[in-house]
Amino acid sequence: MIVQSFSALAGAQFPAGEVWLCGAGPGDPDLLTLRAVQALSQADLILHDALPGRAALRHARRSAEIIAVGKRKGAAPVPQARINARLVAGARAGLRVLRLKGGDPFTFGRGGEESLACEAAGIPWRVIPGISAGMAAPAAAGIPITHRGMASAVTFVTAHDETGALPELNWRALAQSGGTIAAFMALSRLDELALRLLAGGLVPTTPVALISAASLPGQSILRSTLGQCTLDSRRAALPTPTMIIIGAVAALGVQVRTQPLGGLRHAHG
């Protein structure tokens, strides 16, 4: 295994010929980790996704080559195999290669695939964890994803498998788990997701919160129910990215300031 331990990153310089898989967090640049800022300031080549907040790239050194490889609406995404090849080629050329992803690289970020590609090519790689939207979005909305007596478990799911379809999960077991469901990339599949969970046993009145542009100035929160959320989301025309929280805790929370949160501050009252 060529990956370095996370503890070895403390105070480390970015060695030439390595690939660092870095999480940019949910969007607010104040939520970048110190290690992410350090890596951005040292990288020679940065391959980044369609980040919710591009302010993270301001930390890149002026001479760095910055390439967008993320999926954008209306445009074909860069194939994962091509991204993997570019990471390996950059490292073999002696560059410090940073793969910058929204949220956390290993939470629906395909960081696992990229680390395996580096491993197969004999390229040293490291991981810089980021704050996943699955945790940051509900926090930004004032929603505790666990709450004593209400939710003792959380399940993170994606609404898109490798073909773009809703994954073949045990939706009935998920519906009957009694915990919180945090759904990534689910807005376009919300009708299917809701139908699967309703068929699995969740009642139509189950609270749902749709959190759009979490932690950014345009953040918005739509409160609904499992039986009504598809219609409500269409009427609201929510922009992406949107995190969907399903379960009793989705009814909790307070109105959030519509400005950069810098630590997820909330308004009172």
Tokens representing 243 are: 């995190």
Q: What angle is formed at CA 22 by the lines to CA 93 and CA 239, rounded to 5 degrees?
A: 120
In angstroms, rounded to a whole number, what is the distance separating the alpha carbons of residues 130 and 35?
A: 10
Catalytic residue among 49, 101, 104, 135: 49
What strands, in cross-sheet order, belong to the sheet with 154-158? 154-158, 180-184, 242-246, 207-212, 220-225
Q: What angle do CA 234, 183, 131 make, to 5 degrees?
A: 120
One-letter amino acid of 127: V
Q: Distance between the two ends of the chain, CA-based, in angstroms?
A: 52
Q: Is 71 an annotated catalytic residue?
A: yes
Options 28, 135, 185, 243, the catalytic residue: 185
Task: Give the catalytic positions in this structure.
Answer: 49, 71, 185
